[in-house]
Amino acid sequence: MPVFSHADNFNHEQVVFCRNDDVGLKAIIAIHDTQLGPALGGCRFYPYASEADALRDVLRLARGMTYKASCAGLNLGGGKAVILGDPRKDKSEALMRAFGCFVESLGGRYITAEDSGTTVADMDHIRVETSHVCGVSAAAGGSGDPSPVTAWGVFHGVRAALHQMFGSADVGGRTVAVQGVGNVGYHLVKYLTDEGAKTIITDVDEARLERCRDEFGSTVVSPDAIYDAEADVFSPCALGAIINDDTIERLKVKIVAGGSNNQLDNMARHGARLKERKILYAPDYVINAGGLINVYSELHDLPREKALRDAERIYETLHRIFATAIELGITTAEAANLVAEKRIREIGKLASFQKPLMVRGPVA
């Protein structure tokens, strides 16, 4: 399996294969870029069909984190880790701590966090072995659930897109179709309702739907019908790849702006098709950066209020991206990449970032 010439190796700085047979650990840590700061990204625990699939996933995810951190204006690079296995069967305290030892061995170049298949309790185990972990429990000094901050950023991203499309950022009287009312979607519906928007919602979890219907008077539709909703904004807050060949022609909205990761099934093709249809797309990794902003605050012991204020800046960032897209005649997804790369080029050269990357002292 090629590594240096791997199709998804976009000049990653370092890829670490971690193995501890005593505890059954097989993991890969990918550090994509540390020009802006230590590489931060979650640790995914997943039963990959093959080692090649795991490598592909970690390389792509690590690169995505570099772009997300850069656009969010954070002094963080991009990295990610994957643990190969079934979290329900293979996870143990010893395995998570063994993973923590590998994170520690990187001396702060990589900071880990929760992702699919890992939990706050796992981060607490990792924390025993290394300080280079965030998303630990509030009892262990963590910042708690990031979803309200993510949703707050998405809310301000929706406002930016409304302003760009209609000349006013006011959500009052607008209709937003929200796919998935879990952690992020629920808070988003709350913020929107508080400001006078109407919401059309869907989910596969009946209890979550009922909660939003009761609390916010949302209109409920079936999971498939959300793509046909008569609304101003479609806000994906559940799954990835939901903007695809099947769904894109059905959309009646003028804006796609939501919290899910990897919304475009094919970034180039579906980004271009949205542009052709004059549907404004708020690039996912820009609008959903509130969670990362929250984690950054945790790393620097900043209060949640600061994270919320920083998440509001997603409004300005999106406006810059929309302007770049118009100026260069490219899609907003492409423009987001350019904005991220420009910041890395400019800031990455500054001497202040040539300091050691350690952001915390050793474990007490």
Instruction: By CB under 6 A, tell whether 235 contacts ligand NAD.
Output: no
Q: Name the one range near ligand NAD by CB under 6 A: 52-60, 180-188, 211-219, 318-326.
A: 180-188
The residues near 193 (Cβ < 8 Å, ≥ 6 apart) are 199, 216, 217, 218
Among 51, 86, 93, 205, binds ligand NAD (CB under 6 A): 205
Residue 122 vs 129, nearer CB to ligand NAD: 122
286/191 Cα distance (integer angstroms): 19
Q: Shortest gap between Cβ of 69 and ligand NAD (angstroms)?
A: 13
**CB atoms near residue 6 (< 10 Å):** 15
Instruction: By CB under 6 A, tell whether 210 contacts ligand NAD.
Output: no
Instruction: By CB under 6 A, tell whether 247 contacts ligand NAD.
Output: no
Q: Shortest gap between Cβ of 259 and ligand NAD (angstroms)?
A: 4
Instruction: By CB under 6 A, tell whether 218 contacts ligand NAD.
Output: no
Instruction: By CB under 6 A, tell whether 179 contacts ligand NAD.
Output: yes
- For β-strands 233-236 and 175-179, DSSP reports them as parallel
Residue 115 · residue 132 · CB < 8 Å: no
Among 29, 229, 238, 295, binds ligand NAD (CB under 6 A): 238
Q: Shortest gap between Cβ of 49 and ligand NAD (angstroms)?
A: 21
Tell me whether residue 68 is one of the annotated catalytic residues.
Answer: no
Token digits of residue 79? 């990295």
Question: Amino acid identity, residue 269?
Answer: R
Residue 205 vs 245, nearer CB to ligand NAD: 205
Among 85, 185, 271, 283, binds ligand NAD (CB under 6 A): 185
Residue 157 · residue 318 · CB < 8 Å: yes
Number of residues that bind ligand NAD (CB under 6 A): 24
Task: State which H helix or E strand residue 85 sits in.
Answer: none
Among 34, 150, 164, 218, binds ligand NAD (CB under 6 A): 150
What separation in angstroms does the CA of 261 have from each of 116, 122, 178, 212, 283? 12, 22, 14, 22, 9
Q: Name the one range near ligand NAD by CB under 6 A: 36-44, 145-153, 165-173, 319-327.
A: 145-153
Report the side by side order of strands in the sheet with 219-220: 219-220, 198-202, 175-179, 233-236, 255-256, 280-281
Among 72, 184, 264, 286, binds ligand NAD (CB under 6 A): 184
Residue 187 · residue 147 · CB < 8 Å: yes
Residue 334 · residue 325 · CB < 8 Å: yes
**Which residue among the candidates 80, 91, 190, 198 is catalytic per the annotation?**
80
Q: Which residues does the annotation mark as catalytic? A: 80
Chain positions contacting ligand NAD, by CB under 6 A: 146-147, 150, 179-185, 202-205, 208, 223, 237-239, 259-261, 288, 291
